Amino acid sequence: MLDDYKDLQPIVYRILKNAVIKNRNSHAYLFETKGYPRQMDIALAFAKFLLCPNHLTNLKDCGNCTQCQRIDDGNFTELKIIEPDGLWIKKEQLEELQEEFSKKSVEANKKIYIINHAEKLNTAAANSILKFLEEPEENIIAILLTDNLYQLLNTIVSRCQIISFGKMQMKEMLDHYHTENETLFRIGSILMDNEVSLQNYIQDEKNVEKIEKIIKFVDYYEKHGKEVLLYMNHMWFDVFKDKESIAQAFEIMIIIYKDIMNVLLDRPIEVMKSYEDTIIRMAHSDKNTIESVSSKINILLEKQKEIKVNANINLMMDKLILSFEGR
């Protein structure tokens, strides 16, 4: 619901709500999202606000009528969402949209399309959208989303009303995801590539246990060297069994050593803030120099590539530790 963003994005909320209430909609909006994590949700909430018949009569947030429900389920024909297909948004995707939108509207008096990651419009697609924006039809509204305004063609930017999001503080961000664990949020943001999986990752308490298990493992190795191999069952294999979880564990080990490197370089810890003491202690152990930590990161990156193709993952952990030891 648009009202969910009243406190999180107060300026955006006010502009969008007023536009609808005063019936002064732009035919094209460009949301400059500045890394805001729920950009698509806010665009959808706005689209819903524009399309839902209840809003027109009482201007309240709805979310319950059949129209709103079908928007939630993704099968409302007068709302189209375009996402990059691979690296780019392609011309064909926009041509398909334009063809569909040229048909007579059956469901609503407005049609809306949302282009997520609009900076990924390739040249042909950008030109195609430009024509669409230049000859706006009364009932069609475009919502373009981008993290980076400067990667878009000026000619596109100049035809849209720009809605700049406020940059969110970490605390607000964490409240948003209902967690107090900044490390969990940051690791999730690195591991997960979309909003829904990020939310699921943060809500799954097992992931906190996993992160703790990995930091304990690394800490034990840093204190006792290859002796860690004697305790692998209990320190590692009882949690990290399948290739996917092992791949994630490797990613987290890389994150840990990168933060150890940050301490060695007098930079702030980026991800492992909740384990600051352990990270600092490991950075200051006699074993660790800039060279040795950078070599461990490289070894991890190398071994990480082998996970997919390696049949014996148990043996791989032995090899990892031995490579750390320089053998």
Q: Of 108 and 191, which CB lies nearer to Zn ion in the complex structure?
A: 108
* In the complex, least distance from residue 316 CB atom to Zn ion, rounded to whole angstroms: 53
* In the complex, least distance from residue 114 CB atom to Zn ion, rounded to whole angstroms: 18
Does 108 bind Zn ion (CB under 5 A)? Our answer is no
Binding map of Zn ion across residues 123-162, x = CB under 5 A, - = no contact: ----------------------------------------
* In the complex, least distance from residue 81 CB atom to Zn ion, rounded to whole angstroms: 18
Residues numbered 43 to 62 that lie near Zn ion (CB under 5 A) are: 52, 54, 62
Q: Of 67 and 288, which CB lies nearer to Zn ion in the complex structure?
A: 67
Helical H segments across the chain, by residue range: 10-21, 39-51, 53-58, 66-73, 91-102, 123-134, 154-157, 170-176, 182-191, 195-203, 206-224, 232, 243-264, 276-283, 290-306, 313-324
Q: Of 63 and 188, which CB lies nearer to Zn ion in the complex structure?
A: 63
Q: Which tokens hold the place of 97?
A: 């949209």
* In the complex, least distance from residue 58 CB atom to Zn ion, rounded to whole angstroms: 11
Q: Of 1 and 130, which CB lies nearer to Zn ion in the complex structure?
A: 1
Backbone angles phi, psi at 55, to 5 degrees: -65, -30
* In the complex, least distance from residue 40 CB atom to Zn ion, rounded to whole angstroms: 19
Largest CA distance in the chain: 74
Q: Of 65 and 264, which CB lies nearer to Zn ion in the complex structure?
A: 65
Q: Of 48 and 120, which CB lies nearer to Zn ion in the complex structure?
A: 48
157 CB burial (10 A radius; 0-12, 13-18, 19+): middle
Does 68 bind Zn ion (CB under 5 A)? Our answer is yes
For 114-140, the DSSP string reads: EETTGGGB-HHHHHHHHHHHHS--TTE
- List the strands of the sheet with 79-82, edge to edge: 79-82, 111-115, 140-146, 28-32, 161-164
Residues numbered 164 to 193 that lie near Zn ion (CB under 5 A) are: none
* In the complex, least distance from residue 97 CB atom to Zn ion, rounded to whole angstroms: 24
Total residues in contact with Zn ion, by rule CB under 5 A: 5
Among 15, 20, 65, 162, binds Zn ion (CB under 5 A): 65
Residue type, 175: D
Backbone angles phi, psi at 28, to 5 degrees: -145, 125
Interface stretch with Zn ion, choices 67-75, 85-93, 205-213, 313-321 (CB under 5 A): 67-75
Q: Which tokens hold the place of 27?
A: 């035919």
Q: Which of 24, 46, 23, 42 is nearest to 34 (CA)?
A: 42
- At which residue do the structure tokens 């995801």 appear? 177
Q: Of 66 and 123, which CB lies nearer to Zn ion in the complex structure?
A: 66
Q: Which residues are paired to 162 by β-bridges?
A: 30
* In the complex, least distance from residue 112 CB atom to Zn ion, rounded to whole angstroms: 14
* In the complex, least distance from residue 273 CB atom to Zn ion, rounded to whole angstroms: 41
Q: Of 72 and 318, which CB lies nearer to Zn ion in the complex structure?
A: 72
Which positions touch Zn ion (CB under 5 A)?
52, 54, 62, 65, 68
